[in-house]
């Protein structure tokens, strides 16, 4: 009886050790998600898609009745917004033309003089397990998506793709602790370092900034373009606070992201850079990045 108990204890301990090893091996340091996970997600994808579509349909249906009293007023507001948007698009075109001319004059091609090859994707699932800030998109490798592609919302940066299946892609959001992105202060062109997530929906952090660096609340933070994932000049957020570190040598800044990560519904994935002269697709026009970012500096 004692021997049987000891045997069970050994088997149980071995199983736990094996499990711990498996957990460690399939953590964040692994390049991609495990193959069985891809299969299961592919199986669940149609269900998620249908559930997401039903959810959107129901919300639209009930939203119609809830908002019907405000429709007239909203219509007026939309007309005004449309007029403003048309003016804005015109301004953008003019600025783009101007930028191209100046670029030619200066004799260099920057990344800003190109348009992005974008794919619009719907968010069909969020946050796998409450511990990490990730979302699942309804497009995957069959739409040309791949790991490490940058993901945008109309307001700015959202994150990067960390795993793909043929019909889904998992995006690690900027607000996740595992996320890190090279940043630059737009006003000063100073690149103080990396912006990382805090795990909170509405806060990012810039750590270990030199104590004499020229950063202050209210400044705009954009991507620096260092590294191969994120193009430069995309909006990240606004510096909210600058606090000295206890060591006296460095300081850190808290950043309010421009994207509201709680209400992500549709995003754009940068598949690549479109060369000059190609037609800009309709979807890109609808989701244009603010002109002060796209036009370049």
- Polymer length in residues for the chain: 297
Cα–Cα distance, 153 to 235 (Å, whole number)? 10
Should residue 282 be labelled a site residue for other proteins when binding is judged by CB under 8 A? no
Should residue 68 be labelled a site residue for other proteins when binding is judged by CB under 8 A? no
Should residue 37 be labelled a site residue for other proteins when binding is judged by CB under 8 A? yes
Token representation of residue 260: 């509201």
Query: How many residues bind to other proteins according to rule CB under 8 A?
Result: 45
Site for other proteins in 208-267 (CB under 8 A): 262-263
Work out which of 27, 107, 248, 277 binds other proteins, going by CB under 8 A: 27
- Rounded to the nearest whole angstrom, what is the least distance from the CB of residue 285 to other proteins in the complex? 27
Nearer CB in complex with other proteins: 92/136: 136
- Rounded to the nearest whole angstrom, what is the least distance from the CB of residue 225 to other proteins in the complex? 25
**Which of 296, 278, 5, 248 is CA-nearest to residue 117?**
278
Token representation of residue 144: 């040309």
Stretch that binds other proteins, among 36-44, 137-145, 227-235, 285-293 (CB under 8 A): 36-44
- Beta-bridge partner residues of 194: 182
- Rounded to the nearest whole angstrom, what is the least distance from the CB of residue 119 to other proteins in the complex? 20
Work out which of 110, 113, 191, 200 binds other proteins, going by CB under 8 A: 200
Nearer CB in complex with other proteins: 31/105: 31
- Rounded to the nearest whole angstrom, what is the least distance from the CB of residue 47 to other proteins in the complex? 5
Cα–Cα distance, 174 to 258 (Å, whole number)? 11
Work out which of 47, 78, 85, 111 binds other proteins, going by CB under 8 A: 47
Cα–Cα distance, 120 to 264 (Å, whole number)? 13
Should residue 24 be labelled a site residue for other proteins when binding is judged by CB under 8 A? yes
- Rounded to the nearest whole angstrom, what is the least distance from the CB of residue 137 to other proteins in the complex? 12
Token representation of residue 48: 């998620």
- DSSP classification of residue 135: E
Site for other proteins in 82-141 (CB under 8 A): 123-133, 136
Should residue 156 be labelled a site residue for other proteins when binding is judged by CB under 8 A? no
Work out which of 33, 155, 203, 280 binds other proteins, going by CB under 8 A: 33
Stretch that binds other proteins, among 42-50, 103-111, 148-156, 217-225 (CB under 8 A): 42-50
What residues line the site for other proteins (CB under 8 A)? 16, 19-20, 22-24, 26-30, 33-34, 36-38, 40-41, 44, 47-48, 51-52, 55, 123-133, 136, 163, 170, 177-178, 199-201, 262-263
């Amino acid at each position: 009886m004692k021997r049987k108990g000891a045997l069970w204890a050994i088997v149980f301990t071995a199983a736990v050790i094996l499990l711990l090893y498996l957990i460690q091996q399939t953590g964040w340091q692994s390049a991609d998600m495990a193959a069985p996970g891809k299969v299961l997600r592919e199986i669940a994808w149609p269900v998620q898609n249908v559930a997401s579509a039903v959810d959107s349909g129901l919300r639209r249906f009930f939203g119609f009745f809830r908002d019907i009293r405000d429709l007239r007023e909203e219509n007026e507001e939309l007309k005004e917004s449309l007029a403003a948007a048309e003016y804005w698009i015109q301004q953008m075109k003019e600025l783009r033309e101007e930028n191209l001319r100046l670029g030619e004059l200066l004799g260099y091609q920057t990344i800003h003089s190109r348009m992005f090859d974008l794919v619009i994707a719907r968010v069909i699932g969020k946050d796998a397990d409450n511990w990490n800030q990730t979302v699942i998109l309804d497009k995957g490798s069959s739409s040309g998506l791949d790991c490490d592609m940058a993901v945008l919302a109309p307001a700015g940066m959202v994150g990067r793709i960390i795993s793909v299946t043929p019909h889904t892609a998992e995006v690690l959001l900027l607000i996740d602790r595992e996320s890190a992105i090279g940043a630059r202060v737009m006003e000063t062109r100073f690149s103080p370092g990396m912006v990382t997530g805090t795990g909170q929906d509405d806060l990012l952090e810039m750590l270990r900034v030199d104590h004499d660096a020229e950063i202050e609340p209210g400044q705009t933070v954009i991507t620096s373009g260092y590294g191969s994932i994120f193009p430069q000049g995309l909006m990240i957020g606004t510096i909210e606070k600058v606090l000295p570190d206890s060591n006296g040598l460095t300081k850190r800044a808290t950043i309010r992201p421009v994207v509201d990560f709680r209400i992500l519904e549709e995003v754009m994935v940068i598949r690549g850079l479109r060369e000059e002269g190609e037609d800009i697709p309709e979807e890109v026009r609808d989701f244009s990045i603010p002109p002060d970012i796209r036009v370049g500096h």
